[in-house]
A and B are shown apart, each in its own frame.
Chain A
């Protein structure tokens, strides 16, 4: 059984079928790139994985634990929603950093809030916070932002903001990182710095699902590529198979337009 299993996901918004019977599997440590034109359902698929949207039908399994099953009751699916969500880290197209906090505070906030639920929190508050700060600083340094830790988001460039957002997601130690068009809101000259950080993560063995328009990145880094159109997976394969030898007409048409 693969690390991430997505089975027969469907999502309807009213009468609109946004996802139609989407299934895929991803091995631990692999990078999956989801490509396709706007409105093809890629982002919705990503949002279904961490429950920002609730799938209408289907089943999601991570590491053998079923997180969502449309056969279950709503209460069953909402049980432990927060810990289910924490299997995934999410990076948004528009960064969504918290503007009133510094880069470091953005990275440590949710971890600190979660630590309060620790039964030993009151006794070891100082140590726990120090440890979280340490981890946050380390992550930001890893993102090349050691000098920018105490800057507020509006004092950072788009590329720097997105790298803070990546560090913030990593701070929760997720098993899988989800990227929703992480470079689409960036000026062209800032795309590279974010992609480099993502490549580094992939090399370190992070399991990643990346919705992207960056075909160069998909081709170079993805172990697996999914091409979506009109809410369906049209074609899936290795980067080589999809980019060099696409089998489906729709894939060929899309790639010829974009490459």
Chain B
């Protein structure tokens, strides 16, 4: 029994990890683009981005997930996601990417605006180009500022993946829950928690390491 639960949970963990890593891969660059959009001097762009961020941060991720998965099928009378598990995973990643990109954009914007203007000016008067100033002067200072809030958000993402259960994506929590339903046993739920704790534990160690690596300057 223990072995079969372990194997099933590992499989669920695989799906959870896919949601996690794909969301990060897509939402990090998208978040940066949104951050630049929000800071754009062209009003229609900054306004649209701010409205988008307001809507996405102002509504539950679970609701967004349901709308993104079921919406297109009901509006177009055609299921764009396909009926299989790969389609459900895709829909999950799309919803998560939009949601997390919005949160990340706010963090990135804070990181960018938090670097004093004097840093850019110092680079300018020393004859550096704009890209040299960005890559050699401001980028690392931005990263340093952004690591603590990002680690928070990324750890939240690990646990938010469990929301994918609502569209029958067979991730970790779904798996643990299915044993409870089928066999009326609760210990797989606690075993499921161990998987999350281990995952978050590894991330915590990783973020502590990064913070430490960046602590040589202030």
Contact = CB atoms under 8 A, between A and B. Distances in A.
Contacts of B132: 113
B25 interface: no
Nearest to B218: A154
A2 interface: no
Nearest to A152: B217
A52 B125 contact: yes
Given A98-B122, A152-B217, A153-B217, A113 B137 contact: no
A99 B127 contact: no
A3 interface: no
Interface in B112-134: 116, 118-119, 121-129, 132
Interface string B204-218: 000000000000111
A90 B118 CA distance: 12
A82 interface: yes
Contact of B124 (A85, A98, A152, A172): A85
B127 A85 contact: yes
Interface in A97-141: 97-101, 109-110, 113-114
Interface in B171-218: 216-218
A207 interface: no
A89 B144 CA distance: 29
Given A82-B129, A172-B127, A96 B118 contact: yes
A94 interface: yes
A93 to B, nearest CB: 9
Given A100-B141, A109-B136, A86 B118 contact: no
Contacts of B140: 100
Given A99-B217, A113-B132, A92 B127 contact: no
B136 A88 contact: no
Among the interface residues A92, A100, A168, which one has the most CB atoms of the partner chain B within 10 A?
Answer: A100
Contact of A88 (B118, B122, B125): B125
Contacts of A154: 217-218
Contacts of B144: 100
A50 interface: yes
Given A50-B125, A98-B119, A113 B217 contact: no
Contacts of B216: 100, 152
Contacts of A89: 125
A67 to B, nearest CB: 14
Interface string B140-165: 11001000000000000000000000
Nearest to B138: A98
Nearest to A109: B136
Contact of A98 (B125, B127, B129, B137): B137
B217 A52 contact: no
A52 B136 CA distance: 20
A256 interface: no
A15 interface: no
A83 interface: yes
B128 A110 contact: yes
Give the 6 A-B residue pairs with the shortest CB-CB distance, closest first.
Answer: A110-B126, A96-B118, A96-B122, A90-B125, A154-B218, A99-B217
Interface of A: 50, 52, 82-83, 85-86, 88-90, 92, 94, 96-101, 109-110, 113-114, 152-154, 168-169, 172
Given A99-B217, A100-B141, 4 more contacts: A92-B122, A98-B137, A100-B140, A110-B127
26 contacts: A52-B124, A82-B127, A82-B128, A86-B127, A88-B125, A89-B125, A90-B122, A92-B118, A94-B116, A94-B118, A96-B116, A96-B119, A96-B122, A98-B137, A99-B217, A100-B140, A100-B141, A100-B217, A109-B136, A110-B123, A110-B126, A110-B128, A113-B128, A169-B125, A169-B126, A172-B126
